[in-house]
Structure 1
């Protein structure tokens, strides 16, 4: 099918949708005009685009905006800034607040409607937050007598989501500044009240998804230019800081807690990502405090260890702070052997849905299944797990000391009862968009097949001028068919250790990731101990090919093999045997050939100063026989979230009618039971017929018609 044919079919399809929708709407309007329903018109307006949907939503409480030309202006702003850009919401909110389209009874009303429309725009016009979550604006007096704005939020703000809930505060502040109101001057008691209220809500009412530290809450409350207020929603009062003049209630307010905790604090990185790009152009300099706030948040999330840490990406302990009983912790933050970050997406994964190996699921005693929620360290909060069988699975140590890489479900079932320690959980496949969406810095992943293939392709093109597999095959001694399969199906194709080493040497590319080990996870002292241990072993060769390495069992140096993820056998509780391809790859990584032994490598290691930060990987890259890359990358911590989230979600009850049946309907509110009773006791509107003057509950008289 050509592109032109497809385009015609798609156009025809949408034209039919439009026509049939209008036909159904026409019939619905005719039916409503008969007066048999409480309303005589169809309440749901038809919207052809985002702008119409937004105005249709807000016109429910502000009918004036329906035909004011605001939709056209939104479309113009989208052309200027881009679709769904926050700046569109800022500008349209400002212009409506300035009453450029519609005149309102007061300035505050104009500001409220402008903010609602801006808020509806960034929430796509499909949630109730702009109507019910954002309740109203309130004007308070600063200590110097100037007026400032308070934003009254209610519980339904949660439907906007954390990011858009936080963005609504930015819209309010932008409009506030344009309309000449002063910034909020939080007092010490108001700052303390906010942190107290959030912790009271979290501990006494319900868990917040993200509980900021008191330092975060107090810093934010002190610097935010508008006051976040709300209606009392709980029966409980705050435990301290009551009867404050500018806080209207002593009762806990869920809207306030949600906006401060789960919106502003949790989504501060996203806010700063936007404001850092265009904040100055919109006179939002007062929000530059977010840069300092993020430093405070980074320290709070990382715990005490972070203060001394120089790491670019410090560990984040937030996901295990509120750990319920019975939810297993799979791995701690950035702990070696946790989920290895791997960029990509499988067919089964999607938005906030990561993939892990199905073998990993089995090794974890099937605690983790398809759809299980996992709270994880980064880049987001939680994910629903999907399987992917082309990423790396776990490496485990068995009860007899043998270390194996589990690659199939059959192997996992065979050895799961013998597992003593899970050395590596395997990969977690994370889409790049998760990092982009959450404004998280991109981090380096571990070396993997898709990376290696691109390096091989580039090296081939650089050497031969194009991707000439015939010449490559002739150079490295690997069949053209094998190379073609390797390039096209890197996840499904298995390369031998000898071929991997040959390609690395001939093409000057890093060793294939399957035969690359986690050298960065051991220090030089342990590495030196391992080299000394190798002197006591025996290497079996067949020409240039290394068949087997046999070593005496010694727990200390053996631990080095375990930590780098090197598969090996323990035989008769006496010998450690590294065999097949791993023996060949290990010796190549260490730079051992027929002409060269480990003596020079040991000398290099011994000459490194004790205070040096030189890693084992750096030494091997310089002195080894092949190039090596970091296999580890970044490990991600995780714990089980709410396993019940994986269940099918069903509505409670099974309503079949929209007619009140009262107590006569019985416990199940059954329509038939009410019919058997012959009467219904409920609240109904009462109408009076102008012809027969009889009262009825129906808009149309059942006697006169």
Structure 2
């Protein structure tokens, strides 16, 4: 069989011909079965038993096709699919959304000479591209686009944002305003010049708004945005609360001229969660495209950055806690861990078969140990990398570690173990691991943080040391098994067959070794022998979280360790948990006071 091989690295060869055939076959299968399903749906609709006689969801092959079909009622027959597809192939999605919005508005204005309709159409197209044409935000998130008058008589653009704009996310909300500004520049419309009453009205609305926001800007930031934004962020009334101080304000009116006296939720969302929170992304585009009038966004983008990077060359390795997720705790909801505090979930990088986007995996034992609050699909607010995650089970990561009533300290191995001992659990000392993919940090533009040392890490360290046959033989002797029971070959290098082998086979062999090592269940003596022989660290469950221990505990800890003994492979420290929690210990002054006089929260359990 002839095939094309292309080396993408020294150790990997990809058969592109076979992969293309498999992909084409898979896509053809999807196409055939999708068409069959649509035929069945069309036949059912033809019986006229539903509200519509046609299938409402049109078929689309990609984002360009979806956008055109989603907005066909606004485009009036204008074809944008090919132009948008070309833009998406040559630039990123956000830049493509801005460019296609400007192009559509210009073409629509040339055809209809209706500036308001042209801006409305261009803005919706740009917002549809930003949201991948799968949300209602381009349709229902924008109520109306109007051309109003400044106090000096010049015309400006006003965009009415509605509640469904929340689904678009902060980035699309902020870039929606930028797209509106780019479109009005293209069509020669003047910028928005707010009056003091209009600025104060928005301040009053933020003060009265009771719905949760990710960020609620202070009055001075509201003043800055309202004065500098070249487009008026307007909106329909969404709340029952009426404004009192600035109730009837010019330009804050409905299309029939009546005043909007109640709170406009869309304005709160776009300014608070859009322009304020997503200022760095807006700044990236305004600086790249050299757009005048958006210099104000820099002070929001650089708000959390230092003014002088050269003041201090030393950067501490301490991970700064993110406390934002604790600010919106609802009464009655459980809190599983405080920001960057021991006892909560420990990070482990990776994905399971069922963790998708913005999802995290955790051991089913942890899910039950937390009182059943963490069911499959539960949305849980987290410290990093994003705002929240969907809970999924993963049995290959560590479960909780508990302190028993009899002083035992142990890790729960399975659900049967938990159910058998739950009545004797004094406290859950450690919640276990949480599985989060590297891509979540990349998507949320967050720095990676160190994970706890785990069996994956240990296995990767060990395979790098098993680089000679004699070392593999020694490893087999430590395990007490025959060499033939281990994976073939050397995990580090070397070929199984004489004459060499395919680099891809080496990759697979190393993977088999890593998978084998991470599944090993070794006792303390074997772990200690491996560590001494190959220089690896001690993996869990033998390596506990000693860095969480306050320094003032160490003298007493060492003293008790000298009096400990080994019983059935377990270390026993007499009476170590007898006088817990710490309040009882401090009364008898068995431990010195903390230097900072502030004890870690985990000592309160």
Give the greater-gyration-radius structure (CA).
1
Say whether 1:507 aligns with 2:496: no
Cα offsets for 1:413-461 (capped at 9, x unmatched): 1222222222111111122232222222222221222122222223334
Partner of 1:16 in structure 2?
Answer: 32
**Structure 2 SS opposite 1:451:** helix
Change in Cα spacing, 1:279 to 1:459, as seen in structure 2 (3 Å) is farther
Aligned partner of 1:258 in structure 2 is 269
Residue in structure 1 matching 2:176, options 168, 182, 187? 168
Give the secondary structure class of the aligned counterpart of 2:396.
coil
1:238 matched residue in structure 2: 243
Distance of aligned partners of 1:549 and 1:172 in 2 relative to their CA distance in 1, 3 Å threshold: same
Change (3 A) 1:491 1:173: farther
Which residues in structure 2 correspond to 1:425-444 (within 5 Å)?
425-444=431-450
Q: What does residue 339 of structure 1 align with? A: 345
- 1:132 counterpart residue number: 140
Describe how 1:293-442 pairs up with structure 2 within 5 A.
293=300, 313-442=319-448
Distance (whole Å) between structure 2 residues aligned to residue 210 and residue 45 of structure 1 = 35
Whole-angstrom CA distance in 1 between matches of 2:517 and 2:244: 60
Question: C-alpha deviations, 1:54-77, integer Å up to 9, x for none?
Answer: 2222221341xx2x4422211211
Provide the rounded CA distance (Å) in 2 between the counterparts of 1:285 and 1:481: 71
Q: Distance in 1 between matches of 2:122 and 2:485?
A: 64
TM-score, length-normalised on structure 2? 0.74
Q: Distance in 1 between matches of 2:54 and 2:389?
A: 43
Q: 1:554 to 1:449 in 2, by over 3 A?
A: closer
Task: Output the aligned Cα RMSD.
Answer: 4.2
Assess if the C-alpha contact under 8 Å between 1:395 and 1:422 holds in 2. yes
Residue 88 of structure 1: CA displacement?
1.0
Task: Kindly state the Cα deviation for residue 312 of structure 1 after the two structures are TM-superposed.
Answer: 6.5
Partner Cα distance (1:220, 1:357) in 2 = 45
Corresponding residue SS for 1:384: strand
Quick one: distance in 2 between partners of 1:394 and 1:136? Answer: 53
TM-score normalised by structure 1 residue count = 0.65
Q: Is the 8 A contact 1:486 1:493 kept in 2?
A: no
- Residue 227 of structure 1, CA deviation: 2.3
How far apart are the structure 2 equivalents of 1:36 and 1:402? 66
1:280 aligns with 2:287: yes
Q: 1:291, CA displacement in angstroms?
A: 5.5
Partner Cα distance (2:169, 2:459) in 1: 40
Instruction: Quote how far apart the aligned CAs of 1:337 are.
Output: 0.9
1:12-161 matched pairs, under 5 angstroms = 12-13=28-29, 16=32, 47-63=60-76, 66=77, 68-82=78-92, 85-99=93-107, 103-140=111-148, 147-161=155-169
The aligned runs of 1:559-578 (5 Å cut-off) are none
Measured after TM superposition, the shift of residue 342 of structure 1 is 1.6
Q: What is the DSSP-based 3-state SS (H/G/I as helix, E as strand, rest coil) of the residue aligned with 1:385?
A: strand
In structure 2, stretches of 5+ residues that fail to align are: 1-16, 254-259, 307-314, 488-511, 583-594
CA distance in 1, matches of 2:478, 2:50: 80
Counterpart-to-counterpart distance in 1, 2:414 and 2:280: 44
The CA deviation string for residues 643-689 of structure 1, in whole angstroms up to 9 with x for no partner, is: xxxxxxxxxxxxxxxxxxxxxxxxxxxxxxxxxxxxxxxxxxxxxxx
User: Can you list the C-alpha shifts for 1:165-187, whole angstroms capped at 9, x where unaligned?
Assistant: 33322322333444455554556
- More contact order relative to length (CA 8 Å, sep ≥ 6): 1
Structure 1 residues 95 and 359, CA, compared in 2 at 3 Å: closer, same or farther?
Answer: same
Matched, 1:496 2:523: yes
2:233 aligns with: 228
Query: SS in structure 2 opposite 1:250?
Result: coil
Deviation sequence 1:436-487 (CA, Å, 0-9, x none):
22222222221222122222223334xx4xx987356279676446765873
Q: Which residue of 2 aligns with 1:678?
A: none
Match in the other structure for 1:621: none
List aligned pairs for 1:483-562, cutoff 5 A. Answer: 484=487, 487-535=514-562, 537-538=563-564, 549=571, 551-553=573-575
Specify the alignment match of 2:252 in structure 1. Answer: 247
TM-fit CA distance, 1:108: 3.4
Structure 1 Cα separation of the partners of residues 513 and 522 of structure 2: 8
Query: 2: distance between equivalents of 1:468 and 1:12?
Result: 52
Summarize the Cα distance change of 1:118–1:548 in structure 2 as closer, same or farther, 3 Å threshold.
closer
List aligned pairs for 1:473-492, cutoff 5 A.
473=475, 479=481, 480=483, 484=487, 487-492=514-519
Shift in alpha-carbon separation, 1:446–1:141, aligned structure 2, 3 A? farther
Q: Offset of 1:274 from its aligned partner?
A: 7.0
C-alpha deviations, 1:201-248, integer Å up to 9, x for none? Answer: 32xxxx335352536655554554432101223443124433333433
**Maintained 8 Å contact 2:109/2:118:** no
**Alignment: residue pair count:** 529
- Give the aligned partner of residue 592 of structure 2: none
Change (3 A) 1:507 1:141: farther
**Contact 1:232–1:254 (8 Å) recurs in 2:** yes
1:192-203 alignment runs, 5 A limit = 192-202=200-210
- Structure 1 residues 494, 28: CA separation in 2 closer, same or farther (over 3 Å shift)? closer
